[in-house]
Amino acid sequence: MKIARDEVRHVATLARLQFSPEEEEILTGQLDKILQYMEKLNQLDTTNIEPLAHAVDVTNAFREDRVANQPSPDAMLANAPARERDFFKVPKIIE
């Protein structure tokens, strides 16, 4: 086994996801099978190989810190699940 059920539960908490016990069992089996498949990467010796971050050479792109567009608060708040005046209304963060 590459991954056990309690690990699946731990990773779910990290990812802010939750699963029913049945889903958890199916998922553990599926993830295990996928991780077993990924084992094949260990056939390769990568001791002196540099990791690749981007396939095409890109350098940092800098620009002036200037406001480029200014959509109205109404446009930006139009998709908000909850709104109060010009603010996003969210559940209480500090008890």
Contact track, another protein, 1-40, x by CB under 8 A: --x---xx--xx-xxxxxx-------x--xx-xxx-xx-x
For the CB of residue 15, give the shortest distance to another protein in the complex, in Å.
4
Token pair belonging to 56: 């095409």
Work out the number of other CB atoms within 10 angstroms of the CB of residue 10: 11
Count of residues of this chain found to bind another protein when the rule CB under 8 A is applied = 50
> With helix as H, strand as E and coil as C, how does the chain read?
CCCCHHHHHHHHHHCCCCCCHHHHHHHHHHHHHHHHHHHHHHHCCCCCCCCCCCCCCCCCCCCCCCCCCCCCHHHHHCCCCCEECCEECCCCCCC
Considering only residues 58-87, where is the footprint of another protein by CB under 8 A? 58, 60-61, 63, 69, 71, 75-76, 78-82
> Which residues sit at the interface with another protein, rule CB under 8 A?
3, 7-8, 11-12, 14-19, 27, 30-31, 33-35, 37-38, 40-42, 44, 46, 49-56, 58, 60-61, 63, 69, 71, 75-76, 78-82, 88, 90-93
